[in-house]
Amino acid sequence: MVTFLVYDLPNRDCNAHASNGEICCSYNSDGTCDYSYSGSCDAGLNEYKTEYIDVFADIIEQYNDLVPIALIIEPDSLPNLATNMNNPSCRNSYQSYTEGIAYAINKLSEKAPNAALYLDAAHGGWLGWSDNMAEFVNIVRDLPYDKLRGFATNVANYQPVGEMCPW
């Protein structure tokens, strides 16, 4: 099985900015993301769709019937959003994350219907708290989850298996 991470949303890593992607809703003069920008992310989403997801989906489509494929959709993204909604950088990324991930799921499942798609659900250190989990559920509730095989955990960052969540 070939496994790929699909990871390049506009304003990626809205809270820590540790893994800034190459696509932004709005750019600073040095080419980094302007996380303080509060307007539409339409330009960044168009770039994500046409220059990343569409190209990626066309390549995956060529191998759809030749080899088993698993795709992990946007590690850390929705958990990062769910746990940092009070951070203005993340509130401004809401459109790019939710619309971008829905587009990725739909396009990848259309082009490679045999691929197993998993949505990243971080780890218990992020979503092991009831308020964080509730916010994550609110965000993912409207995604095309019927096209997902399930959730992936411990993809980025890590919580050792066997450590109990606080509740």
- Enumerate the active-site residues: 76
Q: Residue 5's beta-bridge partner residues?
A: 72
Identify whether the C-beta of residue 151 lies closer than 8 Å to the C-beta of residue 118.
yes
Q: Which residue has the tokens 């298996």?
A: 161
Which two three-digit tokens encode residue 113?
Answer: 């219907």
Residue 92 buriedness (CB in 10 A; 0-12 / 13-18 / 19+): buried
Alpha-carbon distance 134 to 127, whole Å? 9
Q: Percentage helix, strand, coil, to 5, in the chain?
A: 40, 10, 45
